[in-house]
């Protein structure tokens, strides 16, 4: 039982709301307790933090190396005007793509460990972020499906997932983040079941970037992967959607949870900040492959 902050579990198989601490000034002993809660719950929600961007980066760095420091997920353009849904530009396509369930950076050579995500401005309705417990989903599979998963892997690609929302990734992207992840090296191949390096528990690794399971034809692969996502997200006990307030921050374990964005009224401003924690190459690397 941590002595220096309060933990209120969310009514789901994962997740907790943390109060009684300030992430910007947390001491080392409290941080160590917080890391344990992060591994136990997979998702920690911190209301009312109002982190500056520098404070968010500094806090995230205390959890380990970063994959990148800060990306804005927003419908507000640099000039302050609002991105229109009908514009359907690359950034809007990235926002739309993120509305499919996924884990971050499974399309990179090293899957992300997690993320710190915070809300600066939020719309009055919608714009929730969904999370799904892929450890509980694995545990709930029937034995035959579990065995089928154990024996297979899938390729993960942002080219693949964005092409499904009409984003031509070969075209020059219109911004730094919208171009991130379209890497042109070998397409990472990842087992459908992965043991979490710190909890030792098994998790399903699937989501919108996964495709082309070796040993299955394309249609069979697509159908199986969709069935797994539908199964995982089909039990409300395994899903939580966070209804953001300005100043909220969350920390999630990307080795355990899938997540997704949800639509909002795009005539309202939404500004979110994402800091991505780098995965450990020893445990988050894709499977070795022959040169392609």
Scanning residues 187 to 246, which ones bind Fe ion (CB under 5 A)?
A: none
Mark 185-209 as b/e (b = at least 16 C-beta within 10 Å). eebbbbbbbbebeeeeebbbbbbbb
What DSSP element (H or E) covers 272?
strand 271-277
Q: What's the closest the beta carbon of residue 72 comes to Fe ion, in angstroms? A: 13
The nearer residue to Fe ion, 41 or 101, going by C-beta atoms, is 101
The closest alpha carbon to 261, from 121, 128, 94, belongs to: 128
Residue 67 or 104: the one with the smaller Cβ distance to Fe ion is 104
Residue 157 near residue 209, CB atoms below 8 Å:
yes
Size, binding site for Fe ion by CB under 5 A:
1
Minimum separation from the CB atom of position 208 to Fe ion (A):
10
- Per CB under 5 A, the list member of 67, 104, 120, 284 interacting with Fe ion is 104
Segment 21-40, which members bind Fe ion (CB under 5 A)? none
Which C-beta is closer to Fe ion: that of 26 or that of 271? 271
Residue 66 contacts residue 37 (beta carbons within 8 Å): no
CB 256 within 8 A of CB 112: no
Token pair of 115, please? 């993320």
CB under 5 A: which stretch of 1-9, 104-112, 211-219, 222-230 binds Fe ion? 104-112
Closest CB 103 distance from Fe ion, rounded Å: 8
Contacts of 101 (CB under 8 A, 6+ apart): 130, 132, 207, 208, 229, 232, 233, 258, 259, 260
When CB distances to Fe ion are compared, the closest residue is 104
Nearest residue (CB) to Fe ion, 30 versus 111: 111
What sign results for the dihedral spanned by CA atoms 253, 254, 256, 262? positive
Return the range that interacts with Fe ion (CB under 5 A); candidates 55-63, 87-95, 101-109, 152-160. Answer: 101-109
The nearest distance, CB 130 to Fe ion, in angstroms, is 11
**Would you give the binding string for Fe ion spanning residues 41-60, x where CB under 5 A is met?**
--------------------
Q: Residue 104 or residue 133: which is nearer to Fe ion going by CB?
A: 104
- Site membership for Fe ion, residue 67 (CB under 5 A): no
List the alpha helices (DSSP H) in the chain: 28-41, 53-61, 90-97, 134-140, 143-150, 158-163, 176-179, 218-233, 281-284
What residue ranges bind Fe ion (CB under 5 A)?
104
């Amino acid at each position: 039982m941590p002595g220096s902050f309060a933990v209120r579990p969310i009514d789901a198989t994962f997740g907790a709301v943390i109060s009684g601490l300030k992430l910007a000034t947390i001491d080392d002993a409290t941080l160590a307790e917080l890391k344990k809660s992060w591994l136990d719950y997979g998702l920690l929600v911190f209301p009312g933090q109002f982190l500056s961007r520098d404070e968010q980066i500094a806090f995230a760095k205390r959890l380990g190396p970063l994959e990148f420091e800060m990306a804005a997920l927003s419908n507000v353009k640099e000039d302050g005007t609002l991105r229109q849904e009908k514009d359907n530009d690359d950034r809007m396509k990235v926002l739309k793509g993120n509305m499919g369930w996924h884990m971050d950076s499974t399309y990179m050579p090293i899957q992300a460990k997690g993320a710190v995500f915070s809300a600066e401005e939020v719309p009055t309705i919608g714009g929730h972020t969904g999370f799904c417990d892929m450890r509980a989903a694995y545990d709930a599979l029937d034995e035959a499906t579990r065995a089928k998963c154990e024996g297979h892997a899938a390729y993960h690609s942002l080219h693949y997932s964005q092409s499904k929302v009409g984003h031509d990734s070969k075209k020059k992207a219109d911004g730094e983040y919208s171009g991130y992840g379209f890497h042109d090296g070998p397409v990472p191949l990842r087992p459908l079941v992965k043991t979490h390096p710190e909890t030792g528990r098994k998790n399903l690794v699937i989501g919108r970037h996964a495709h082309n399971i070796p040993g299955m034809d394309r249609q069979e692969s697509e159908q199986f992967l969709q069935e797994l996502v539908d199964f995982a997200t089909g039990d409300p006990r395994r899903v939580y959607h966070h209804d953001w307030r300005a100043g909220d921050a969350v920390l999630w374990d990307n080795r355990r949870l899938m997540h997704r964005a949800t639509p909002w009224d795009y005539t309202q401003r939404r500004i979110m900040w994402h800091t991505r924690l780098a995965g450990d190459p020893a445990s988050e690397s894709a499977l070795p492959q022959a040169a392609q």
